[in-house]
Structure 1
């Protein structure tokens, strides 16, 4: 059976508190047996990938540029899109659920794209005053709820002749 894919979205530069939350998210994703997908660069993306790798997980990085070597060192599978911020759509469409850890306008775009695609979104830090996004108290709660929602979504899509991203 395919493992759930959980996107971690957030700022390309992160405070130590946001980076620590992202590392905890990445670790929890790996421990849940899910795959982490992110934008593959620094800040929240790098911290989450580091947490996942330290816990034995698999990481995908959907990069904005044309160079796979621009990925942070914790990305197993870098995918160069040369699409700039439009790569956010690829991240969201590939994910079964999204966890937001702090961020700015790029993060808001990913949250909006995910909600538009009926993907579950769980926010740990602002900016998450977005209708439809669920605010959670901890990285572990975010991942627990994201993985459960992803598995439920995957199960309901199976056998209906419907694409899994809805």
Structure 2
């Protein structure tokens, strides 16, 4: 689950619901582990009894979301996005930020997992057309379904 630390209320609500739905299906939820979308997905997953692992950019756990089941302090900065995406069976992106866009790009480059986008920035080709391969969802339920959950 990827998304910005600075998000809208609608993005926060969607992330909470995605986390809840994933946990209800028995998925272990991975996220960046801080505030915003990341904290909301952690809260949602924990509300359904799920496990949430935060892959932190810092070398310590300062600022980690309280809903995490486990936190991995990588000390890698934004490079931790590669660790997060490489560890996922599917990637759901909610909202938009530069870090979120990098996670989306890394997931697409990986090429062997579903990549689902709920809201956020739309990546267009040189003709103004959406890039193929990104599955667009309108609701949290659709995002989880498109991710294979």
Q: Is this a same-fold pair by TM over 0.5? A: yes
More helix by share: 1
Calculate the aligned-residue CA RMSD, in Å: 1.1
TM-score by length of 2: 0.90
TM-score by length of 1: 0.81
| Contact 1:20 1:47 (8 Å CA) reproduced | yes
Structure 1: distance between partners of 2:25 and 2:143 = 12
Matched, 1:33 2:26: yes
Structure 2: distance between partners of 1:100 and 1:128 = 11
- What residue number does 1:95 align with? 88
SS of the residue corresponding to residue 112 of structure 1 reads helix
| Contact 1:102 1:127 (8 Å CA) reproduced | yes
Matched, 1:74 2:74: no
Q: 1:121 aligns with which of 115, 137, 146?
A: 115
Matched, 1:110 2:103: yes
- What residue number does 1:157 align with? none
Superposed, which structure 2 residues align to 1:115-154 within 5 Å?
A: 115-118=108-111, 119-129=113-123, 131=131, 132-148=133-149
Moved over 4 A (4+): none
Unaligned runs of 5+ in 2: 125-130
- What residue number does 1:64 align with? 57
Aligned length: 141
Unaligned runs of 5+ in 1: 1-7, 149-166
